[in-house]
Structure 1
């Protein structure tokens, strides 16, 4: 009787229907860039195949993104600026797409099921255009033509000037990047070089980044380069590419400083997070900035040793541990600026305390510098000097409050806890309080969340 009753009861069980498919959101909801990134899927891997003709400026590409649906999707979005799309496929089948400015909406033939991986391949081409405006020091950024190729530095929102993507650091992925260029030019990108060869009148390079990377850190810089490879004294592979035009104009030995700083930061911040370190030094004076391209910082020109140690510190603070939203940018720039102070301390030229005092004392209380709220600096001023310098001051104030033992335990704990992931200011405050055993709200309120010059 018991078995029969159980079977009968089972016949009345109702299996819940799967949620109806919905359209993925056009952005992840970052208040600074509401339409950047995309909802409904998690980017897993990009396979980029590009061909660039410097003479005409034309880029032809095919990007295949492997992603995992985070809900049942009827459609989803990608970010791509200006370039013309000729074909879109989802899981190898032609898909419909529409365009609204920089937003591409892809509609596959069937529902993409939550938890399942899918691929979307986009074939596209045209002449990419750099972005401009007040955000990046008033400079152009993104895909920038040079006399012999292109300099590619995309923070914060310009990866979509050259490939379709979920263009926000909260959606990181691994990469294969294949670059075709005229023979005699070298294509340099992230991670390790898989292969490089010439065929006919073209050069080919295949790079692979096996560690999760934010879109803005991807590069495909192309030009004439003198390349030096080797290992740091600590054994980390090094790849440094320098435009021969700059060979005799740099007062600093880029290779030597890169090797030394990578090893030193590995001691202070925790193990180096990537497979290779290095640099790309290109003759691009119009850019006027450098960028912490993952595994190979890109320098439009190397101005100082301090610039190199700053960009290499970003490999931990910004590249491995990335911001959850752009308002948390001080977690990148404040930390990298503080690394410059630590480097001077390491070299015996000036203590971090003295660097703090110099930054603090040279700015009067009525300076616009103190009007920026570092924890939320606003989009057009997200790279204001206060984000860098007051962010670094915050860390020195923290160090002096909790002491060196706790402070230098905190830094590698932070990079270990959020390795290859994302974090925000609240995460850092909680970890600082946990490691120090102290309540620190007043310190962070004063230095990060309040405008005006604090009393020291």
Structure 2
């Protein structure tokens, strides 16, 4: 993404979508005016995921119903989307793949539909006027089978979701880009001996015959990549957090006693984070511990996903486990409440979560922050060569959509925050962090927004300082540490 040191750009998403519309229009001209083009996959212009998101509308709410039978069978599903058209729509696209579509309705009237790449192209019976609200209902399946692309993740006794960064549309149709956040309602029917937990608060439960239907609603908008539905033989211990915050964890029932040693630490983790950046931003929180192999932990909104092995496998020191828990908790502020405007802004998510992970280990376990940052500085040039600079990461490796999660967006981006704190001082940096999460709560923000706010809070234009840190191929000198040296790059 080109560097833009100016102020906030509230029209950024709309301009991306207009660009996508122009691209589609150009394609139509190439095909000739005699007949309209066939269904095309489109996106909103994200450099890393060009086909994610869809032009022409903003989603306000999702209402998604799943019927679960077994973790190796497709779920029957109905996704209802309430949206507002931002331009006149004779047709529109939804991101969706890895399921079959049985019927589509727009405002209660059957609509035509066709697949195009990983898009579902919908043609309503009547064009939708710009500025008007509309509802689209899709009857479909949601298939948990298949590996390596994200979406549903099978566990020993059920399913969980891992939709980051490009996999929400493998579970349900929608506008699968973090710039279009919306409210969610989940209605999940499963055998009554299983437990279902999803983002947000419980909103009802009823049993009929052999099945129970569970309903959950979010009170804050959420990006599709942060959706979570956990189905399995789970215990759901509950406790109170700071200022009465509702906490509920989801753990394998047989492991509840052993895992309570770790989940009981969450209230103190939240108190620590609130002391750094302000009040927790959502209606509740919990730790979801799944008997699954993902290779990562994930900040699904209000219910962070962890692999069971992190807590029960020997060899991980306690300080390390807690710092990882704090990493995912920090994402509730950085990445969930304040979401990236485009995926090139990922460093704002992972750099901040890594920063607070490292700061927690520094304060609670004596793992010196300065030592970690010095080590990161030594590796930073190689990380930039391998993955690009923090705010302009290289594109994903073909067939590996999560390959954008390279070291440069973790410790390499925390290093940017360390450099900024070195330049503006700890007090100004703390004000910046608190102001960032307060000003952009429940919204999206960009790298340019962060640079502008750093300049505002510090009282000095920081764009010239941050540009090479965020976009340079080589790591700039570290303020206050002229002796720090980046290691020579390895030959390609």
TM-score range, shorter chain: 0.7 to 0.9
Tell me if structure 2 keeps the 8 A contact 1:61–1:123.
yes
Deviation digits for residues 114-173 of structure 1 (CA, Å, limit 9, x no counterpart): 1111100000125334552xxxxxxx5221122211121100011111111110001110
Deviation digits for residues 328-381 of structure 1 (CA, Å, limit 9, x no counterpart): 1000000000011221233262343333124334x3865677763111112324
Equivalence map 1:122-271=2 (5 Å): 122-125=138-141, 127-130=143-146, 132=148, 140-247=149-256, 250=259, 253-271=261-279
2:95 aligned residue (63, 79, 84): 79
Offset of 1:442 from its aligned partner? 4.2
Offset of 1:195 from its aligned partner? 1.9
Counterpart-to-counterpart distance in 2, 1:184 and 1:249: 22
Residue 50 of structure 1 aligns with which residue?
A: 66
Offset of 1:447 from its aligned partner? 2.2
Structure 1 stretches of 4+ with a deviation exceeding 6 A read 22-25, 367-370
Residue 17 of structure 1 aligns with which residue?
A: none
Deviation digits for residues 60-88 of structure 1 (CA, Å, limit 9, x no counterpart): 00010000011111111111112111111
Offset of 1:223 from its aligned partner? 0.9
Within the alignment, does 1:274 sit opposite 2:282 as a pair? Answer: yes
| 2:179 match: secondary structure | coil
2:301 aligned residue (294, 303, 306): 294
Aligned residues: 425
Offset of 1:248 from its aligned partner? 6.3
Counterpart-to-counterpart distance in 1, 2:345 and 2:165: 12
Normalising by the residue count of structure 1, what TM-score does the alignment of the two structures yield?
Answer: 0.88
Structural RMSD (CA): 2.2
1:419 aligned residue (415, 431, 441): 441
After superposing the two structures, state which structure 1 stretch, 394-403 or 301-310, moved more.
301-310
Counterpart-to-counterpart distance in 2, 1:126 and 1:158: 12
Counterpart-to-counterpart distance in 1, 2:385 and 2:261: 33
Deviation digits for residues 265-318 of structure 1 (CA, Å, limit 9, x no counterpart): 22322221110011111100x212111000110112335111110001000100
* Compared CA separation, residues 376 and 60, structure 1 to 2 (3 A): same
Larger radius of gyration: 1
Deviation digits for residues 25-44 of structure 1 (CA, Å, limit 9, x no counterpart): 83111111111111100000
Structure with more strand by fraction: 1
1:448 aligned residue (470, 474, 482): 470
Residue 329 of structure 2 aligns with which residue?
A: 312
Offset of 1:414 from its aligned partner? 0.5
| 1:45 match: secondary structure | strand
| 1:98 match: secondary structure | strand
Tell me if structure 1 keeps the 8 A contact 2:97–2:118.
yes
Tell me if structure 2 keeps the 8 A contact 1:370–1:451.
no
